[in-house]
Structure 1
Amino acid sequence: MNAKIETSRLEKILKKIEGVADKRASMAVLSMVLIEYKPTESYLHLLSTDLEIGYKGKIFAEVEGEETSFCVPARKFYEIVKNFPEDEIYLIKDENRLVIKDAQERIVYNLAITDSEEFPSLPEFIEENAIEIPGKVLAELISNTIFSTSKEESHFVLGGIYFEPIKEEGILRAVASDGHRLVKLDREVIGIENVNFNEGFIVGRKAAKQIEDIAEEELIVKLGYINNYVVIWTSNSVFFARTIEGTYPDYRSVIPSHYENVLKVDRKLLMDALKRVSLIIPEKFKPVTFDLKPDEIILSSQEVELGKAQIKLSAIYEGKPLTVNYNADYILDALEVMNSEEVEIKIGEERTPALITGRRDEGFLYLVMPMIL
């Protein structure tokens, strides 16, 4: 096999391949990329998997030679191509080596080849009844919720994003929570009532991040849920991931329906104030105290050996005087993905979650539990 490929296109597909390949795999082949070529096609096919997620991509190439398939280390291959200085790159299979070079052979790499028979077979999926969704919409559903997923192994079902079709409203919903906070984002998707799944499913963090990377580069992707796999199709690739088994908690039951205390504040002013107050907090969990009065809003840190920080903030507060503590990072995480100039924070009693929304953030809702100090 002798192939000439555009370097930038190969880099893009290898970035996704390298993200899927298992770098700490007990089976060496799971850290590999499988390269396949058939003389009837003007493409190279590249595949990777860690047995839980998988990616199949194809790239146009000027290729000569017989049908072949072989494996090379995914990370090293990606690093070579990523740092390759020429616009075009040549790949030559030479017995047990893959030669990677430029046209003048000023740059030449040799990568050892592994037999493709060791590479696991990947499942096949049919696109029937998959829903078309704008890539930016799917990427946003992930980027604006993934920060709230749990990183603790004991919270297994909370370790991913819960996707739910709300067919009667024509929306696809993404929900994420780590038990201390919860984010919900709704986006209208044309034709969601015809999607091939009726119930929700949970996509793990690693898989969700891969889907985000794929979707944000595509105008339209197809989304399906088949046999406990979430599947994404693009014009030149298929990505699939086994979903997290288990029942997602009833998130609707934890969203309070009524609040008597409402804080309206400029989003950027609040972000700046939280960051400044946090500068003097050395702890992993950053408690910030909100002293709320109709005529005065004060953010302050706890008294520590280093000292204490206090910032008075311009805001509108309607409700009874309250003193409540929140993790500053948790609130910042939400404010940083929002677009509204002003946010509304509905605040309950000590053990009631605050609810954050904004006019320019339609479909977005964020809950954060107060800290009990």
Structure 2
Amino acid sequence: MKATIERATLLKSLGHVQSVVERRNTIPILSNVLIEASGDPVSGASGLRLMATDLDLQIVESATAHVDQPGATTVSAHTLFDIVRKLPEGAQVELTVAEGKMTVVAGRARFNLATLPRDDFPVIAEGELPTHFTLPVAVLRQIIDKTRFAISSEETRYYLNGIFVHVSEEGGQPVLRAAATDGHRLARVTVPQPQGAAGMPDVIVPRKCVAELRKLVDEADGDVEISLSSSKIRFSLGGAVLTSKLIDGTFPDYSRVIPTANDRLLRIDSKSLSNGVDRVSTIASEKTRAVKLALDRDKVTLSVTSPENGRAEEEVAAVYASEPFEIGFNARYLMDILGQIESEEVEVHLADAAAPTLIREGEKSPALYVLMPMRV
């Protein structure tokens, strides 16, 4: 194999594939990236195909390159990425494979790297993916950003370690919904159901797949092609194809925790509330991170009391007409939600100090959030 590729092109592709590779592997070849060089002498089209996997998640990236000699090999993903990252900008990188070694040459720099046979590289068998639809990149980015912060990191509740995606109905209209929860907060986004999504199985997309997908949508535009079955999902965007196993579990019926009768309405500037919570929580203990909201007519008093550090208090102007009461929240959870609010004003629908609180931008907002209170 012999190919020449621009440093920037190779670095971008390696950046996508190497982050799928785990730093510690008991199976040596899983530390490697598969590089295939192919050229069509008739059309003149040639390029590299890079693939990495952790056996649950697989990414394939295509990059334009000049191929002198087609071939394939596998080489350490992190090592090659670090080498290319440190090469000078604008460099042409020559990759040559012979006698079980890969030679990387750029200008006066030369590296010899150990390789493993291409035939030993595992590939995820996709099987049939009967459901197929497309989403605009901007919509997929919105779905990820507004839900992923609520994904649980508790491994014992593995079925919460991802984003739950399913089809539903709202006001007689078919919709696609994405939700995530860790038991303390819930995030849900609703978008119009794309053509082809009707009848799709309910799926839970794992946290790592969501993280890798988010990196890809940052650098893409246009549409994302999504194909899925009850056990696998595939995203195709730009020059990349990301395939992942789905979480085999049942997501809880989250609709039961979304309050519908919270009759105390607080309207408040989202940035003022977030900044106020951030300031007073500076003295909160790391363990609880609790902040108290005392609601009174047209104002909210934020306070934190810490046995070790003392007390902090801040008053924020608001629109509130119900009877005064106090409620406590985890400051970090509340700020995570407020960080997703795009409008200046946020609606906070409350019931009492022990009931779930509903937070949203407005009735027509595609996203809503539920936050469980804390005892303070």
Q: How does 1:79-158 map to 2 (within 5 A)?
A: 79-87=82-90, 88-102=92-106, 105-124=107-126, 130-158=132-160
Alignment match, 2:59: 55
Aligned pair partner of 1:321 in 324, 331, 336: 324
Q: How does 1:15-94 map to 2 (within 5 A)?
A: 15-40=15-40, 42-65=46-69, 67-87=70-90, 88-94=92-98
Q: How does 1:205-284 map to 2 (within 5 A)?
A: 205-218=207-220, 219-284=222-287
Q: Residue 295 and residue 334 in structure 1: after superposition, are their counterparts in 2 closer, same or farther (change >3 A)?
A: closer
Task: For 1:30 and 1:120, locate their aligned partners in 2 and report how far apart those are by CA, in whole Å.
Answer: 8
Alignment match, 1:203: 205
1:361, distance to aligned residue in structure 2 (A)? 7.5
1:156 partner amino acid: Y
1:222, distance to aligned residue in structure 2 (A)? 0.3
Contact 2:201 / 2:230 at 8 angstroms: preserved in 1? no
1:128, distance to aligned residue in structure 2 (A)? 6.4
1:240, distance to aligned residue in structure 2 (A)? 0.6
Contact 1:46 / 1:56 at 8 angstroms: preserved in 2? yes
Alignment match, 2:2: 2
2:301 partner amino acid: I
1:164 partner amino acid: H
Task: For 1:84 and 1:360, locate their aligned partners in 2 and report how far apart those are by CA, in whole Å.
Answer: 52
Contact 1:196 / 1:224 at 8 angstroms: preserved in 2? no
Task: For 2:129 and 2:299, locate their aligned partners in 1 and report how far apart those are by CA, in whole Å.
Answer: 57
Task: For 1:126 and 1:61, locate their aligned partners in 2 and report how far apart those are by CA, in whole Å.
Answer: 32
Contact 1:173 / 1:187 at 8 angstroms: preserved in 2? yes
Contact 2:103 / 2:113 at 8 angstroms: preserved in 1? yes
1:140 partner amino acid: Q
Task: For 1:296 and 1:162, locate their aligned partners in 2 and report how far apart those are by CA, in whole Å.
Answer: 37
1:54, distance to aligned residue in structure 2 (A)? 0.4
Q: Deviations over 1:218-273 (max 9, x none)?
A: 22110111251111012433211101011110011111111121111101100110
Q: Residue 50 and residue 295 in structure 1: after superposition, are their counterparts in 2 closer, same or farther (change >3 A)?
A: closer
Q: Residue 107 and residue 21 in structure 1: after superposition, are their counterparts in 2 closer, same or farther (change >3 A)?
A: same
Aligned pair partner of 1:180 in 175, 181, 184: 184
Task: For 2:123 and 2:263, locate their aligned partners in 1 and report how far apart those are by CA, in whole Å.
Answer: 58
Contact 1:340 / 1:361 at 8 angstroms: preserved in 2? no
Q: Residue 4 and residue 295 in structure 1: after superposition, are their counterparts in 2 closer, same or farther (change >3 A)?
A: closer
Task: For 2:306 and 2:224, locate their aligned partners in 1 and report how far apart those are by CA, in whole Å.
Answer: 51
Q: Residue 160 and residue 302 in structure 1: after superposition, are their counterparts in 2 closer, same or farther (change >3 A)?
A: same
Task: For 1:327 and 1:207, locate their aligned partners in 2 and report how far apart those are by CA, in whole Å.
Answer: 27
Q: Residue 124 and residue 256 in structure 1: after superposition, are their counterparts in 2 closer, same or farther (change >3 A)?
A: closer
- Alignment RMSD: 1.9
Task: For 2:242 and 2:115, locate their aligned partners in 1 and report how far apart those are by CA, in whole Å.
Answer: 24
SS in 1 for 2:23: coil
- Give TM-score, length-normalised by structure 2: 0.92
SS in 2 for 1:213: helix
SS in 2 for 1:186: strand
Task: For 1:341 and 1:294, locate their aligned partners in 2 and report how far apart those are by CA, in whole Å.
Answer: 20
1:196, distance to aligned residue in structure 2 (A)? 7.0
Residue range with higher mean Cα deviation, 156-165 or 197-206: 197-206
1:222 partner amino acid: E
Alignment match, 2:309: 306
2:2 partner amino acid: N
Aligned pair partner of 2:337 in 331, 334, 337: 334
Contact 2:130 / 2:228 at 8 angstroms: preserved in 1? no
Contact 1:197 / 1:224 at 8 angstroms: preserved in 2? no
SS in 1 for 2:310: coil
1:129, distance to aligned residue in structure 2 (A)? 5.0
Contact 1:164 / 1:201 at 8 angstroms: preserved in 2? yes
Q: Residue 216 and residue 172 in structure 1: after superposition, are their counterparts in 2 closer, same or farther (change >3 A)?
A: farther
1:109 partner amino acid: F
SS in 2 for 1:154: helix
Task: For 1:93 and 1:187, locate their aligned partners in 2 and report how far apart those are by CA, in whole Å.
Answer: 48
Contact 2:262 / 2:357 at 8 angstroms: preserved in 1? no
1:37 partner amino acid: A
| Structure 2 residues not aligned, in runs of 5+ | none
1:127, distance to aligned residue in structure 2 (A)? 7.2
1:92 partner amino acid: T
